[in-house]
Structure 1
Amino acid sequence: MSALLLAPAVLAADPPPPVSIDGFPIGGLGRQSLPAKGCAAYLFSTGATRALVAMAGAEGGTLRIALDGQARDYARTGQGDATDLGFANQTRYAAGDTAATLTMTITRRADLAQGAIVSDATLLVERAGKDGVIMPLAGMIGCAGQN
């Protein structure tokens, strides 16, 4: 009887994110929440494997990605001049021996009251002693409260 009660909970669980996407050392992220304040960009891979790859927070200035199977936050270290919803068209993040540059095209739409579309983006990841990786992405920006 208890097995029957547990079955719906097991079936409803999110599948684990991929550890590697299309041969890249970049993996997928699990479900991410909207921040309590400000906006966040949710960016998905555009290749053969579709998965959430990156979440960038405008308010905290962080980028969350999974490298070699481990999710980690990277702090913003610089950004371009043009900003929309708290994001520049190009932002640099770093932690330890890893640096990432996120370039995004943000498009506002009338049917999105609290956010925008990221029609195209690229994520460049550079790690000491390893080859750099560039991954194409696309997604959307969601904002808590008014923007």
Structure 2
Amino acid sequence: MKLLPLVLLALAAPALAKDKKPPAPQAAPIVASVDGLPIGAIPKQDLPAKGCAAFLWTRGPSQALIAMATADPAAIRLTVDGKIQDFAMRAENGVGGFGFSQTNEYRGGDLTATLDLTISTAADIAGGARITDSTLRIDRPGRDSVVIPVGGLIGCA
């Protein structure tokens, strides 16, 4: 007689379970600040459908992915004030490679991001290059300007 409630529960469980939906996957939390900087990490990024992209990591303690710049359209993706945002290129100067100039200036709202790139090709990288000894400068009116040492890779579709 003690088995009857267990058997009824076992028979009813599938019917009860089908009414419940599995929990939605949780998005990775956005890191609002990396190493005390005024920008945060961005999540993993895919190569664009066309052109090249520069993936940039901090050279500080956390070595976080903080930016992705695309050559076409010319833009940079950053996390500012806890939100992932894209900023369009406004000016460029010097010879770089892979669709990028040596100095690339992006603007949006009150933010100006200046990316100074040193691009190094290597035989062990097909369809891309290394980014070495580079900086990302963030300027905002009424706030301190910050220069962040970055390194990374360029990948092309």
Asked whether the equivalents of residues 120 and 139 of structure 1 are also in contact (C-alpha less than 8 Å), the reply is no
Match of 1:19 among 12, 32, 48: 32
Pair 1:65 & 2:78 matched: yes
Match of 2:87 among 62, 74, 80: 74
Query: Residue 43 of structure 1 corresponds to which residue in structure 2?
Result: 56
Unaligned 5+ runs, structure 2: 1-13
The one-letter code matched in structure 2 to 1:87 is F
TM-score when scaled to structure 1? Answer: 0.86
Give how far 1:139 is off: 0.3
User: CA–CA distance in 2 between the matches of 1:42 and 1:122?
Assistant: 13
Cα distance 1:75–1:104, how it changes in 2: closer, same or farther (>3 A)?
Answer: same
The one-letter code matched in structure 2 to 1:108 is T
Q: Residue 105 of structure 2: SS of its match in structure 1?
A: strand
User: CA–CA distance in 1 between the matches of 2:77 and 2:41?
Assistant: 10
Count of aligned residue pairs for this structure pair: 138
Asked whether the equivalents of residues 115 and 134 of structure 2 are also in contact (C-alpha less than 8 Å), the reply is yes
**1:91-102 aligned within 5 A:** 91-102=104-115
The one-letter code matched in structure 1 to 2:154 is I
Instruction: String of CA shifts for 1:9-30, please: whole Å, max 9, x gaps.
Output: x7xx885342211111110000
User: CA–CA distance in 2 between the matches of 1:111 and 1:101?
Assistant: 29
User: CA–CA distance in 2 between the matches of 1:112 and 1:87?
Assistant: 17
Unaligned 5+ runs, structure 1: none
Q: Larger C-alpha radius of gyration, 1 or 2?
A: 2
Question: What is the aligned-residue identity percentage?
Answer: 42
Instruction: String of CA shifts for 1:26-84, please: whole Å, max 9, x gaps.
Output: 10000111000000000001111121100000110001111121111111011113131
Query: Residue 98 of structure 2 corresponds to which residue in structure 1?
Result: 85
Q: Which has the higher strand share?
A: 1
The one-letter code matched in structure 2 to 1:131 is D
Give the superposed CA RMSD: 2.0
The one-letter code matched in structure 1 to 2:120 is T
